[in-house]
Structure formats: C-alpha cells, structure tokens
Amino acid sequence: MARVLIAGAGIGGLTTALMLHARGIAATIVEQAAEVREVGVGINTLPHAIAELAELDLLDRLDAVGLRTRELRYLNRRGQEIWREPRGIHAGHAHPQFSIHRGRLQKVLYDAARERLGADALITGHRLAGFVQDEAGVTAHFTDARDGSGSLDLRGEVLICADGIHSAGRRAFYPDEGPPSWNGVAMWRGATDWPVWEDGETMAIAGGLAGKLVLYPIAPAKGKTQLTNWVVNVRIADPSVTPPPRESWSTRAPLSKVLPYARRFHVPGIDIEALVRASGAIYEYPMADRDPLPRWTHGRVTLLGDAAHPMYPVGSNGAAQAILDARALADHFVAAGHPREALYRYEAERLPKTAAIVRQNRIGGPERVIDEVEKLSPAGFDHIDDVLSHADREAIVKGYAKLAGFATGDAR
C-alpha cells in the first residue's frame, strides 16, 4: 500500500510526491489526463517557492526551460512608469523568480517524479471519483477518464486531493458549493517568439481599472528573439447577470475578440497589437476563484493547491502557494505521530495564510498600485510622485509581498 495517495499531477500534486519521496515516504499519483502535455501558457514562480524546488535539486532543470526574472515594472495605460523593482536574486533573495511556461514547469516535475518514484507510481488516464475512509486507511476510487468505465481502487494511509479548481475531493466535502466565482474579467493569453524587449529579463504590468496587460518573456533569448508571454485581463461583464466563459485552460478565442482591448495598452519599446496578432493560439479563461473554506482536512483526506485555495492570478501566487503547501504537508507527515494529525497540522499552517492571499487578490494584490494611480490621475502624469508618494506605492507593493511570504527578509 502506498502511504500517500495523490489525485492530480499538476504542480501541487507532483511537488508533494517529490517532497514526500525526499523524506522516504512512498506516494502514488493518479492523474486524469492520458499524458502530461505542455498545456497552459506562462506563469511566474516566486523565490520562496523556487527555494523549495532548489532543495529538490531541480534548479538546473528549471534554468534549461525557464527564465530568471530580473525586474518588474508597473505602468499606466499610456506606458508611464509607476513602479519598478528588482526581482528574485536581483532583489536580494537567495533564489530566483522564474517566468516559465506552465507546461514546461509541470514537465520538469513530472520527469523528476518518474525518475525518482518510478514509472509505476504515476498512473494517468484515471479520475478520482470517490473515497471511503476507515480506521486503518482510505480507499480511493478512480474511473477511466475517457468514458467513466472500469474502476481502479487504491489504498493509502491518506489521500491528498491536488486536483485543481474543479476538485472532486473538494466537491465530496462541499457538494453545494457550485462553480467557481467569477468577477466578470476575461483573461486572454498567448505566447510567441518575439524580438527581445528591454534586457530580455523584465516583466511589465500595464493598464488601469478597466483592464491590465501582463507581459513577460518565458524562455532564454535565442539570438534576437525569445518566447514572450502576454495576458490581457478586461472586465467584460457584470458577473451577477452574465454567466462566465467556459473554464478550460484550452478554450481558444479569435483574434478579433482580444484585439480591440489589446490596442488600448501602450508599453514603450514593444508593439502590443503586433505581438498579439503574431500569437498563433489565443486562450480565454475567466478570472475565477472560490471562497476560502473553513476546513480542508476531513480525517484522512485533505485538499492541496488550487483544490484548496484557487485564487485570482494576480501577484504570481497560484503555483507558488501550491509548492509551499507541498512542503508543509511533507514536513508534517514526517513529524506527526499519526497521519490524521499530519493533515490537521498542515491545514492549520496553510489555510489561514492562503485564505488571506485569496482575499487580497480580490482587491487587486500588488497591482492595486496601478489602480490607485489611475483613480487619482486618469489622464496620466508628469511626475508620479505628485500623484502618489513613493512611500504609498511601496506600502501597496511591499505589503503584498509580506502577506504572501516573499518580502526580501522572509524568503530563504
């Protein structure tokens, strides 16, 4: 019997398996997808989470597929600079921030898990459908993800549901919760090879209250070009009367839908409209999250990552918090006298912290600095300090870093 069963081979589930393995604890992961493909576009992973992956000896592999972020700039819609700060090692952290294709990060973790845990420990094409607990353990029931046929029952000491925003584990405990909540914002995303912008290691977030553009390279430059990721977030509807677009990371959107919005943003030195036009595939996803839960752990079963605390993707925190969950869970599993105690201690450590980030992201996270400037000076400015003082801007941006555990003094 595996000591730990994990449903979902996303960033959270795979990191948990690797962390447990590093502590001598056997885990089996079951993933619904038939194979782990490079799905998704860019994400940022913060230094405190990269510290955990470095401890798993994965830094070289990340360097091979991702990009160490040097600087972050916040701009208004016209491209005027509101704030700039160094990131990762350049900000004094012991570890870098990585801008990386989500699928490539997942592949790094998946390959490491296969090598270290053995191919038998990763089962694909099966979906968690239910579980039964008893005094000695938990039996998890999986069905064939293609047609719901067949059945695979696995027994473990605990079951970790790391199965994303539509978690089956979460639904079992909270059957009346319904779909994720949508704030009326659509996110369109794409990535394409593009002439290197600035130093090739800089990320920009530009815009105002009605919408934002996020821009960052996600792979090392190849000569004069590099894989450049963009996201356009725009409030397109009143969520109380309009149902959200379909929540699938692979929903495609036509160029004509995003172009009118993309044209609104200006970033010095890069033609945003041309970048968007050049991106072959454009993906659409609603900005959705869920209310923080009162409990994640129910006996021998718990939730992790997006299953536990899906959050708006502001402040680069979704993957980072899933990685921090994995670390906490593995540590408590080793330290606790009983598996149930481990899961309760894990929840006690992680639930309050992640709930605070979910709530902070709802009011804009660090990007709120852009909104505050627009409120005060919608037509732009001559000198940013006349609009909002350096101390006030710093309080918004650094206050968030402290909350999310990656202020320079916090990170390892």
Ligand X SMILES: Cc1cc2nc3c(=O)[nH]c(=O)nc-3n(C[C@H](O)[C@H](O)[C@H](O)COP(=O)(O)OP(=O)(O)OC[C@H]3O[C@@H](n4cnc5c(N)ncnc54)[C@H](O)[C@@H]3O)c2cc1C
Tell me which stretch binds ligand X (CB under 6 A): 39-47, 78-86, 175-183, 251-259. 39-47
Q: Does 313 bind ligand X (CB under 6 A)?
A: yes
Coil, helix or strand at residue 155? strand
Beta strand extents in 79-217 (DSSP E only): 81-86, 98-101, 122-123, 126-133, 138-144, 152-161, 181-195, 202-208, 211-217
Task: Return the axis-axis angle of helices 318-335 and 339-362, rounded to nearest 10°.
Answer: 160
How many residues bind ligand X (CB under 6 A)? The answer is 30
The answer to whether the Cα torsion of 351, 232, 229, 223 is positive or negative is negative
**Minimum distance between the CB of residue 352 and ligand X, rounded to whole angstroms?**
18
Beta bridge partners of 203: 72
**Minimum distance between the CB of residue 295 and ligand X, rounded to whole angstroms?**
18
Name the burial class of residue 391, with classes exposed (0-12), middle (13-18) and buried (19+) by CB atoms within 10 angstroms of its CB: exposed
Tell me which stretch binds ligand X (CB under 6 A): 161-169, 178-186, 207-215, 272-280. 161-169
CB count within 10 Å of CB 92 equals 11
Using CB under 6 A, pick the residue from 17, 19, 27, 43 that binds ligand X: 43
Q: Does 320 bind ligand X (CB under 6 A)?
A: no
Q: Does 162 bind ligand X (CB under 6 A)?
A: yes
Q: Does 284 bind ligand X (CB under 6 A)?
A: no
Q: Does 211 bind ligand X (CB under 6 A)?
A: no
- In the bound state with ligand X, the residue whose beta carbon lies nearer, of 234 and 384, is 234
For residue 49 the two structure tokens come to 């989470």
Q: Can you tell me the distance from the alpha carbon of 197 to that of 199, in angstroms, rounded to the nearest whole number?
A: 6
- In the bound state with ligand X, the residue whose beta carbon lies nearer, of 76 and 106, is 106
Q: Does 401 bind ligand X (CB under 6 A)?
A: no
Residues of 30-63 as b/e, b for ≥16 C-beta within 10 angstroms? bbbeeebeeebbbbbbbbbbbbbbbebebbebbe
Q: Does 305 bind ligand X (CB under 6 A)?
A: yes
Q: Does 128 bind ligand X (CB under 6 A)?
A: yes
Q: Does 108 bind ligand X (CB under 6 A)?
A: no
In the shown chain, the binding pattern of residues 241 to 260 toward ligand X, with x for contact by CB under 6 A and - for none, equals --------x-----------
Q: Does 58 bind ligand X (CB under 6 A)?
A: no
User: Which residues are near ligand X by CB under 6 A?
Assistant: 7-13, 30-33, 39-41, 43, 102, 127-128, 162-164, 168, 189, 249, 305-306, 313, 318-319, 322
